[in-house]
Amino acid sequence: MRYLPNADADRRQMLKSIGRESIDELFSDIPEEVLAKFEPLGLAPRSELEVLGELTRWAEASDAAKRVSLLGGGIYDHYVPRIVGHILGRSEFYTAYTPYQPEISQGTLTAMFEFQTLVCELTGMEIANASMYDGATALAEAVLMADRIRKRRRVAVAANLLPQFRRVLATYAWAAGIELVDVPFDASGRCAWDRAPHDVSGLVVQSPNAFGVIESLGGLKAALGDTLLIVVTYPLALGLLEPPGAFGADIVVGEGQSLGLPMGFGGPLLGLFATKGEYLRQLPGRVVGRTVDADGKPGYTMAAQTREQHIRRERATSNICTNSALCALAATVYLVSIGADGLRQVAELNLAKAHYLADGIGRLKGVRLAFDGPFFNEFVVRLTEPASAARRRLADAGFLVEDPNELESLGVKNSLRIAVTEQRSRKELDRVLSVLGGKR
């Protein structure tokens, strides 16, 4: 077995040196009854060459990757600069463990410190953790945290939250005994937050939301009183949009996939989590701090660990241990590679291309935008013909468009959600217009 270095002779000698007769003796503490029931998988070992062939066949059977994507809803077809993969491919990063021994983990720790700084810069918040599993679990943790602070056992949630966030939040809230109260949206597609109840620990809004519409957050924090404002963000859009921190958000979470991660069939993803400095003791997850070593030289180490499960056990702020560290490194390298200017540029490209398509759609008969609120790179189109028919024509032309049933689950009938990233060309967008316009 090429991954296991001991040769038969080694094993014999090792057994002898520990006074054991056989390998089986090493497993004599497992009850015979258990060993007797064992059944193998019926799987023959394969060579590297065969496994590579097998995996390549599976990858090639994934037709979605060959189409032109208009899919969004939290995961987007953004360009990943080549350098990101090369840095992530350094085994000093990807084969290291959680940095419990900081003296030989300064690479990971420094990058995490940079990541936390970048998340705060993007979101306009004071502190950020070193990552959560994904945007949805980050939101669930944010709601648990808000309820630890305000303890009202109820949290208001905008009904235009992306369903995958809502589903995961619902599971965590059910188990924690927190009631979720829906807040409806208006004709612009925005959350009607003036209709949110007041006796809640927090209000969750997403911007841009499930319809791609950018929420109007001005004045919201003041209207909430001491209810915590939890904003779910789209980090790439923050290259252009005023950050949630500027509107007084208490907790900002988001899906970080847009920052240099492949779509990867939805995982691994990257949960972003940022909050105000005053809530550090309630923060879930790992956080890295700057300190000095015995010679007074600057260095980095895990900080505020008394919140965490390995110290606080059942009283920890979360059970999270393994997070998305390597994905956080990807986001860090991504942001540093493109810089503030590149981030602005890519965000403006998304805005321009999405609006180019939306404006074109506005000129077509039988199609219009479902909501009049401002949007970034994603919008909802309402059709007079059945949405499934329009979708089929787009699919026949090589485009990936989402099944309309998710929008239907949000009460938006006969509509398609369309996302346009910097990767889409004018030629592709013109083709979308001609297909939707009924021309061949």
Partner 1 sequence: MKVLFDHALREGAGGLFPSSDVPARTPSDVLGSDLVRARAPRIPNLCEGDVARHYTALSKLNYGVDDGIYPLGSCTMKYNPKLNEDVTRLPGFVGAHPRADEALSQGTLGLLYELSGLLRGISGMAAVTLQPVAGAHGELTGMFLFKRYFEERGEPGRTRVLLPDSAHGTNPASAAMAGFSVTEIRSNDRGTVDLDALRAELDSTVAGIMLTVPNTLGIFEENILEVTRAVHDAGGLCYFDGANLNSFIGRARPGDMGADVFHFNLHKTLSTPHGGGGPGAGAVAVSQPLVDYLPVPWIEKMGETIRLDWDHPKSIGSVHSFYGNFLVAVRAYAYLLQLGDAGLRAVSENAVLNANYLQERLKKTYPLPYDRLCKHEFVLSGEGLPNHISTLDIAKRLIDYGVHPPTIYFPLIVHEALMIEPTETEGRESLDRFAEILEAIAVEARERPELLHDAPTRAPVRRLDQTQAARNPILTYPFDKS
Closer by beta carbon to partner 1, 295 or else 365: 295
Interface pattern 159-178 for partner 1 (x via CB under 8 A): -----xx-xx-xxx-xxxx-
Q: 158, 191 in Cβ contact below 8 A?
A: yes
167 vs 163: CA distance, rounded Å: 6
- Confirm if 297 and 321 have CB atoms less than 8 A apart: no
- Shortest distance (Å) from residue 102 CB to partner 1: 5
> Residues 68, 130, 272, 435: which binds partner 1 (CB under 8 A)?
130
Choose one: 195-203, 260-268, 364-372, 431-439; the region binding partner 1 (CB under 8 A).
260-268
When asked if residue 322 is in the footprint of partner 1 (CB under 8 A), the reply is: yes
Stretch that binds partner 1, among 31-39, 183-191, 225-233, 378-386 (CB under 8 A): 31-39
Hey, CA dihedral for 278, 281, 284, 289, is it positive or negative?
A: positive
**From the CB of 198, what's the least distance to partner 1, in Å?**
25
Taking CB under 8 A as the criterion, the residue among 351, 367, 416, 432 binding partner 1 is 351
Least distance between partner 1 and beta carbon 159 (Å): 17
Whether the CB-CB separation of 147 and 121 falls below 8 Å is answered with no
Write down the least CB distance from residue 424 to partner 1, Å: 9
Task: Give CA–CA dist 205/233, Å, rounded.
Answer: 9
Under rule CB under 8 A, residue 348 binds partner 1: yes
DSSP 8-state class, residue 239: G
Choice from 179, 293, 385, 408 touching partner 1 (CB under 8 A):
293
Q: Determine if 20 is a binding residue for partner 1 (CB under 8 A).
A: yes
Q: How far apart are the first and last CA of the chain?
A: 57
Choose which of 21, 92, 222, 440 interacts with partner 1 (CB under 8 A): 92
Instruction: Work out whether the CA dihedral 57, 59, 60, 62 comes out positive or negative.
Output: positive
Q: Which stretch binds partner 1 (CB under 8 A): 150-158, 188-196, 284-292, 382-390?
A: 284-292
CA gap 371, 381 in Å, rounded: 8
The binder of partner 1 chosen from 74, 189, 244, 260 (CB under 8 A) = 74
- Backbone angle region of 225, left / alpha / beta, with phi > 0 → left and psi within -120 to 50 → alpha: left
What's the min distance (Å) between Cβ of 276 and partner 1?
A: 12
Tell me the C-alpha distance between 285 and 304, whole Å.
Answer: 10
Tokens 């070593």 belong to 293
- Of 214, 255, 204, nearest to 350 (Cα)? 214
Residue 248 as a binder of partner 1 (CB under 8 A): the answer is no
Residue choice 21, 39, 365, 440 for contact with partner 1 (CB under 8 A): 39
